Amino acid sequence: MLLVAAALVLVLLSVGGVVAWRVFAADPRDAAKEYFARLAAGDANGALKIVDASSIAAQLPTSNPLLSAAALSDPAARPRAMTVTHVTEAGDTAMLAVRYQANDATVTQALTARRQGRRFVLVSPFVRLSFAGAAATDKARITVNGVAVDPAGSGSAFPGAYTVTADGNALLAGRSTAAVPSPDATATVTLPPPSLSADGQAKADAAVTAALQQCAAKYFQPGSGCPAVTLFNPPARVVPGSPPPGQLISGSWTVTTAKTDITVTITKVPVCTFTPDAGAVTFSAADGVVHWDVKLAVDGKVLTGQSGDTQFTAKGRVALDADGTLHVTFA
């Protein structure tokens, strides 16, 4: 009986020793579980404490705004239901495969854990976010999960789901898209191309119309920044004498003894086709029509008069100035 009891004690001690070792030994799974639990709770600072300090030294929120609590403020952006599917340990390093939910997508990601004292920490457990086709001239403000970012470069983000938005302006409609990480811990964001909003279309039409009315007031003279429009042909000779007292030069009448009356009215504003172009819009139309009347009189007597309609082409660009006004430039 004594031998049996002694054997039982040894077994219990042995089992107890194994249990104690399992309780106090570092487990890389614990690092992954705590990291994702912190993210699911929106605790960015807590999550970063489970990351190897050397791997985040250059990626803190001061240099990367997506490694912040603000980027996790929306619960829909946070990862959930994380499970560890595979672990391989080699010395002080462990490779883990995890699976989690990001919005309605199932995401797999590989993690690296490193032993640090009595625990494991994760090495760069982030997602590299980049933007496809984001032109440097596109001045739209880009946000990821409500946090402003620079689309010209790539940066690190916490695992999860990403809602990417490009702000609109007086001309262009806002754009948005969603993204989740790929298995290689990257996420490439492709925003929809810029498009003219309904309000922007109306404002661009009004701006072009106003600019054309100003051109009409200038008689579409060459050098005035207006479309090239030939309104009328001057008579070769108006009254006897040399040179004639009234003649048309470069689209305007120069008069010595005569009085000139020119009326130019746009009777059909061109229907422009607008194309977004680096925060502005370009336009093109070939169906504008102006009506003109020209009278040349000497001493109150009309010596000659012409009138007609001329179709014209309008091309150019509508840009948003810094003060919020629209500026029209004709090509």
Domains of the chain: 28-126 (3.10.450.50), 129-189 (no CATH), 198-330 (no CATH)
Give the tens place of pLDDT for each residue, 192-233. 888 899 999 999 999 999 999 998 888 787 788 988 887 765
Residues 6+ apart with CB under 8 A from 292: 231, 232, 262, 263, 264, 265, 306, 307, 308, 309, 310
Band of the pLDDT at 99, cuts 50, 70, 90?
very high
What's the CA gap between 243 and 238, in Å, rounded?
10
pLDDT of residue 161: 98
What's the CA gap between 290 and 212, in Å, rounded?
10
pLDDT of residue 248: 40
DSSP states of 232-301? ----S-SSSSSS-SEEEETTEEEESSSEEEEEEEEEE---PEEEEETTEEEEEEEEEEEEEEEEEEETTE
| pTM summary value | 0.74
* 35, pLDDT greater than 60: yes
Q: DSSP class of residue 194?
A: P
* 114, pLDDT greater than 50: yes
Q: Are 197 and 168 in contact (CB under 8 A)?
A: yes
Give the tens place of pLDDT for each residue, 49-87. 999 988 776 456 557 899 999 999 999 999 999 999 999
pLDDT of residue 53: 86
In single-letter form, the type of residue at position 15 comes to: V
Strands 246-249 and 273-277 turn out to be unpaired
